[in-house]
Amino acid sequence: MHRILRRQLRRALKLESIDAVEETLRRWLAEDSDAAKGPDAPQLREILRSLITSVDQSYLQLERDLDLRTRSLDISSAELFEVNTRLKSELDAQRLAADSLLAAAKRLAKNSALPLPTADQAGIRPLTEFLTRLAHDRDSAISAREQSEQRLRMALDASNLSMWDWDFGSTQIFYDRNFARFIGTKEQDATYDLGALSRRTVPADAQALSTAIRDVVLGHRPDFEVELRVRHEQGHWLWLQTFGSVTVRDPDGRARRLTGIVADISKRKQLENEIAANLKLLETVLDTMPLPVLIKDRTGQVQRANSAWDKMVSAGTAGESGHGLAVNSPVLGSVHRKFDLEVIASGQPARYEARIIAPNQREYDVLVAKAPLKLDNGEVTGIISVITDISEQKRTAGELDRARLAAEAAARAKSGFLANMSHELRTPLNGVVGMASLLETTRLDSRQARFVQTLKSSADALIAIINDILDISKIEAGKLDVATELVNVREELEHVVNLFSAQAFAKGIEIASHLAPGAPPTIQSDRLRLRQVLSNLVSNAIKFTERGAVLVSASRGRAAADTDANHIEFAVIDSGIGIAPQLQEHVFEAFAQADDSATRRFGGTGLGLAICQRLVELMGGSLGLDSAPGQGSRFYFTLPATGAESSASWSATDDVAALVVAPEAIIASALAETLASRSALALIASDGIDAVTQIESLPANLRHIQIVIDSGDDRAELESWVSAMRLAAAGRSVTVTLLLPHGCQDLPPIGIDRCIGKPVCTAALFEQGSDTGAAGATTRSRSLIGPVARKRVLIVEDNAVNQELVAAMLETVHMDYCIAVNGREGVELYEKDGNFDLVLMDCQMPVMDGFAASRRIRELEDGTRRVPIIALTGNAMEGDRDSCIAAGMDDYLPKPINLALLRDMLDRWLCPPATQSEPAAGAA
Tell me whether residue 102 or residue 594 sits nearer to ligand ADP (CB atom): 594
Q: Output phi, psi for 237, to 5 deg.
A: -100, 140
- In this structure, the number of other CB atoms found within 10 A of the CB of residue 572 comes to 25
Q: Is 465 in the site for ligand ADP (CB under 6 A)?
A: no
Q: Which amino acid is at 191?
A: T
Q: Binding string to ligand ADP for residues 843 to 872, with x set by CB under 6 A, is what?
A: ------------------------------
Stretch that binds ligand ADP, among 31-39, 222-230, 492-500, 601-609 (CB under 6 A): 601-609
Which residues have a Cβ under 8 Å from the Cβ of 157 and sit 6 or more positions away? Answer: 178
**Residue 622 CB, nearest approach to ligand ADP (Å):** 16
Contact 549, 664 (CB under 8 A): yes
Binding span for ligand ADP by CB under 6 A among 156-164, 268-276, 486-494, 603-611? 603-611
Q: Is 50 in the site for ligand ADP (CB under 6 A)?
A: no
Instruction: Please report how close the Cβ of residue 670 comes to ligand ADP at its closest, in angstroms.
Output: 17
Q: How far apart are CA 922 and CA 287, in angstroms?
A: 91
- How many helices (H) does the chain have, and how many strands (E)? 26, 29
Helix (H) or strand (E) holding 659, with range, is strand 653-661
Residue from 433, 538, 594, 829 in contact with ligand ADP (CB under 6 A): 594
- For residues 464-497, one letter each, b for 16 or more C-beta atoms within 10 angstroms of the residue's C-beta and e for the rest, the string is bebbbbbbbbbbeeeebebeeeebebbbbbbbbb
Of residues 41 and 480, the one with the C-beta less far from ligand ADP: 480
Q: What is the 8-class DSSP label of residue 703?
A: -
674-733 residues in contact with ligand ADP (CB under 6 A) are none
CB of 634 to ligand ADP, least distance (A): 9
Torsion of CA 81, 83, 84, 85, to 10 degrees: 90
**Do the strands 161-167 and 255-264 form a parallel or antiparallel pair, or are they unpaired?**
antiparallel
Q: What are phi and psi of 389, to 5 degrees?
A: -75, 110
Segments of 500-541 assigned E as strands: 509-515, 522-525
Q: Smallest distance, Å, CB 492 to ligand ADP? A: 19
Q: CB of residue 898 vs ligand ADP: minimum separation in angstroms?
A: 22
- Least gap, CB of 555 to ligand ADP (angstroms): 19
State how far the Cα of 507 lies from the Cα of 549, in Å rounded to an integer.
10
Positive or negative: CA dihedral 880, 881, 887, 891: positive
Give min distance, CB of 493 to ligand ADP, in A.
17
Piece in contact with ligand ADP (CB under 6 A), picked from 34-42, 288-296, 340-348, 592-600: 592-600
395 burial level (CB within 10 Å; 0-12, 13-18, 19+):
exposed
Q: How far is the CB of 883 from ligand ADP (least distance, A)?
A: 30
Q: Residue 462, interface with ligand ADP (CB under 6 A)? A: no
- Nearer residue to ligand ADP within complex by CB, 617 or 828: 617
Identified binder of ligand ADP from the candidate list 140, 143, 599, 631, rule CB under 6 A: 599
Q: Residue 794 in contact with residue 868, Cβ under 8 Å?
A: no
3-state secondary structure of 400: helix
CA-based end-to-end distance of the chain: 212
Smallest gap, in angstroms, from Cβ of residue 530 to ligand ADP?
A: 17
Examine residue 593 and tell whether it contacts ligand ADP (CB under 6 A). Answer: yes
Q: If DSSP codes are grouped into helix, strand and coil, which group holds residue 240?
A: strand
Q: Which is nearer to ligand ADP, 5 or 607 (CB)?
A: 607
* Shorter beta-carbon distance to ligand ADP: residue 146 or 585: 585
Shorter beta-carbon distance to ligand ADP: residue 302 or 425: 425
* Per-position x/- string for 225-254, each x denoting binding to ligand ADP as judged by CB under 6 A, each - no binding: ------------------------------
Contacts within 8 Å (CB) and 24+ apart, 105-114: 105/130, 105/131, 105/134, 108/134, 108/138, 109/134, 112/137, 112/138
Q: Which is nearer to ligand ADP, 106 or 600 (CB)?
A: 600
Angstrom distance (rounded) from CA 552 to CA 332: 71
> Shortest gap between Cβ of 456 and ligand ADP (angstroms)?
19
Label residue 312 left, alpha or beta by phi (over 0 means left) and psi (-120 to 50 means alpha). alpha
Q: Is 605 in the site for ligand ADP (CB under 6 A)?
A: yes
Determine contact, residues 199/210, Cβ cutoff 8 Å: no
| Closest distance to ligand ADP from the beta carbon of 452 (Å) | 25
**Residue 606 makes contact with ligand ADP by CB under 6 A:** yes
- The interface with ligand ADP within residues 879-898 (CB under 6 A) comprises none
- 391-440 vs 899-910: helix crossing angle, rounded to 10: 90
The answer to whether 595 contacts ligand ADP (rule: CB under 6 A) is yes
Burial 62-73 (b: 16+ CB within 10 A, else e): eeeeeeeeeeee
Q: Which CB sits closer to ligand ADP, 570 or 830?
A: 570
Strand partners, 297: 382
Residue 164 or 588: the one with the smaller Cβ distance to ligand ADP is 588
**What are the angstrom distances between the C-alpha of 819 and each of 263, 545, 824, 858?**
113, 47, 12, 19
Q: Which is nearer to ligand ADP, 192 or 570 (CB)?
A: 570
Contacting range for ligand ADP; rule: CB under 6 A; set: 505-513, 597-605, 835-843, 897-905? 597-605
User: Which residue stretch of 114-122, 517-525, 600-608, 795-803 sits at the interface with ligand ADP (rule: CB under 6 A)?
Assistant: 600-608
Decide: 242 and 260 in contact? Cβ < 8 Å: yes
Total residues contacting ligand ADP by CB under 6 A comes to 22
Question: Would you say 10 or 543 has its CB closer to ligand ADP?
Answer: 543
Q: What count of other Cβ atoms lies within 10 Å of the Cβ of residue 542?
A: 22
Stretch 523-582 residues interacting with ligand ADP (CB under 6 A): 540-541, 544, 574, 576-579
**Residue 543, number of CB atoms within 10 A of its CB:** 18
The smaller minimum CB distance to ligand ADP, of residues 577 and 819, is found at 577
One of 55, 124, 598, 680 touching ligand ADP (CB under 6 A): 598
616 to 655, contacts with ligand ADP by CB under 6 A?
633
**Class of residue 843 by CB neighbours under 10 A (exposed 0-12, middle 13-18, buried 19+):** buried
Asked whether the CA dihedral 218, 221, 222, 227 is positive or negative, the reply is: negative
Q: Give the whole-angstrom CA distance, residue 841 versus residue 883.
A: 13
Among 520, 548, 604, 850, binds ligand ADP (CB under 6 A): 604
Residue placing its CB nearer to ligand ADP in the complex, 104 or 625 = 625
Candidates 127, 263, 418, 587; binder of ligand ADP (CB under 6 A) is 587
Site residues for ligand ADP, 62-81, by CB under 6 A, read none
Instruction: Name which of residues 185 to 224 contact ligand ADP (CB under 6 A).
Output: none
Q: How far is the CB of 630 from ligand ADP (least distance, A)?
A: 11
Contact footprint for ligand ADP (CB under 6 A): 540-541, 544, 574, 576-579, 587, 593-595, 598-599, 604-610, 633
